[in-house]
Amino acid sequence: MEPKVLEKGGQVILSPEERVKILGLVNSNPTNIPSIKELTNAIFPDKGLDGRSNEAKSIKEYLATLNIKTKSSFNPKYAQDTNLTDEHKLYIRNNAATMSITEMGRALFNKENICKINLEYKLIQEFLNINKIKPFELNQQTNTNGVRFIPKTLDQAARRVNKYVLDGIDIKTLKKDTRLQNCLQSLIRYCHTPRYGLLMNTLADGVDVDLFESSFIRYAWDKPDLMEEEVDTYLNLCCDIVNYTKMQREVERLVEMRDQCLDDSEGRRLSMGLVAAMGELYKEMDNNQKRQNAALKALNGTRNERMEGLRRGAASVSQLVEAWRDQLKRERQIALAERRKQMVRDEIKHLDTMDAFKAEIFGLNRESFE
């Protein structure tokens, strides 16, 4: 008969048959007792369980009541071969602010299945704890000084872009793509303007910070040619986006208050102040939307004109290069024709000095007079 496994409150209760089978496996080789994982697979062969399952925990608890210790399934050689090198430590220091422990483990050890139970994860976590480095999981919004995070390296900027732009940048090809490097260097420069840092630290709500940062990065990350005035205009635009969202939340609150007044069974009237406040808020939202549209139109128009001017300039330069090449070609052909003419002149002059050759042409030679 199949052994029955009872589950009660998430706890697995081993049947008497299963306990007897466990003792049989343990007593079959007392000097080399199987591990918890091996016992679990032997008792429950069709489930594909590991040492973290409830069944494995029940087996471990049962053996603990009998004071039986199983062998560890951990290979000590694995621990000896897995250590943090100086390069690993430097990488962790440089990327802890923008990468999670799992991401750093996957990058350093070239393994995709790293999680909290893996040795690599624990090594990185221990290194962070010893050096008092706050991991990315606890440092998504602020650094150790309580200041909002601003990217300083290309890798940090790239990960910030990927946080808000789906499939924005392939980190693996970043070192080979000079265009992307130029864009990210410009983004870092934009983010280190005094006004950007001031606005980031002024916003109190984390949701507003994310909205402000995401809006600015989405607008500016692929535009390395922005002027200072345009950066300020984009910052104004992002502030308007945050304010518009705040006003939307305020409108929802006022609408809820209005609905409560309208549904009031006690007959209380709707306050005119509430109606006036909603009207002013809708008006301000409309003005905010118009400012956003005007800012976008001005930014796109100005940049398009500048890019068009650059394209015209590039076309003019290309035309000059082509004309210069044509001029060189004509000069070479003229020089070649002059050399040929000079060769003909020299040959004619040479023939003109040959008296014997002339006499031969006219039929005059010594043999004809003898």
Of 89, 230, 97, 237, give the one whose Cα is nearest residue 157. 97
Higher pLDDT, 82 or 211: 211
Confidence of residue 361 (pLDDT cuts 50, 70, 90): low
pLDDT at 2 over 80: no
- Residue 339, classified by CB atoms within 10 Å of its CB into exposed (0-12), middle (13-18) or buried (19+), is exposed
Overall average pLDDT of the 26-43 stretch: 77
pLDDT digits (tens, 9 = 90+) for 302-333: 666 666 665 665 555 666 666 666 777 777 77
pLDDT at 142 over 70: no
Map tokens 């008296």 to a residue. 355
Residue 140 DSSP symbol: S
| Token pair in block for residue 80 | 């000896």
Predicted pLDDT at 118: 79
User: Could you tell me if residue 136 is inside a domain?
Assistant: yes
pLDDT at 181 over 50: yes
Of 51, 50, 124, give the one whose Cα is nearest residue 85. 124
User: Could you tell me if residue 126 is inside a domain?
Assistant: yes
Residue 44 DSSP symbol: S
Share of the chain above pLDDT 70, in %: 72
The structural domain count of the chain equals 2
Domain that holds residue 97: 75-140
pLDDT at 180 over 60: yes
Helix (H, G, I), strand (E, B) or coil at 204: coil
Give yes or no for a contact between 151 and 160, defined as CB atoms under 8 angstroms apart: yes
Helix ranges restricted to H, the chain:
16-28, 36-43, 54-65, 76-81, 86-95, 101-109, 119-130, 154-164, 178-191, 194-202, 206-220, 228-262, 272-352, 355-361
Predicted pLDDT at 51: 66
User: Could you tell me if residue 16 is inside a domain?
Assistant: yes
The pTM is what?
Answer: 0.47
Tell me which of 110, 140, 170 is where a domain ends: 140
Q: What burial letters (b/e) apply to 258-275, b meaning 16+ CB within 10 Å?
A: eeeeeeeeeeeeeeeeee
User: Could you tell me if residue 212 is inside a domain?
Assistant: no
Q: What burial letters (b/e) apply to 109-128, b meaning 16+ CB within 10 Å?
A: beeeebeeebbbbebbeebb
Predicted pLDDT at 359: 59
> How does the average pLDDT of the chain come out, rounded?
76
pLDDT at 123 over 50: yes
Overall average pLDDT of the 97-107 stretch: 77
pLDDT at 348 over 80: no
Predicted pLDDT at 358: 59
pLDDT digits (tens, 9 = 90+) for 146-163: 557 788 888 888 888 888
Query: Are residues 119 and 88 part of one domain?
Result: yes
Confidence of residue 369 (pLDDT cuts 50, 70, 90): very low
Q: Could you tell me which residues are beta bridge partners of residue 7?
A: 12
User: Could you tell me if residue 121 is inside a domain?
Assistant: yes
Confidence of residue 56 (pLDDT cuts 50, 70, 90): confident
Query: Are residues 86 and 66 part of one domain?
Result: no
Predicted pLDDT at 366: 52
pLDDT at 129 over 70: yes
Predicted pLDDT at 225: 83
- Residue 254, classified by CB atoms within 10 Å of its CB into exposed (0-12), middle (13-18) or buried (19+), is middle
Tell me which of 95, 118, 140 is where a domain ends: 140
Confidence of residue 95 (pLDDT cuts 50, 70, 90): confident
pLDDT at 268 over 80: no
| Token pair in block for residue 134 | 């706050």
Confidence of residue 85 (pLDDT cuts 50, 70, 90): confident
Query: Are residues 98 and 46 part of one domain?
Result: no
Confidence of residue 122 (pLDDT cuts 50, 70, 90): confident
Tell me which of 47, 73, 99 is where a domain ends: 73
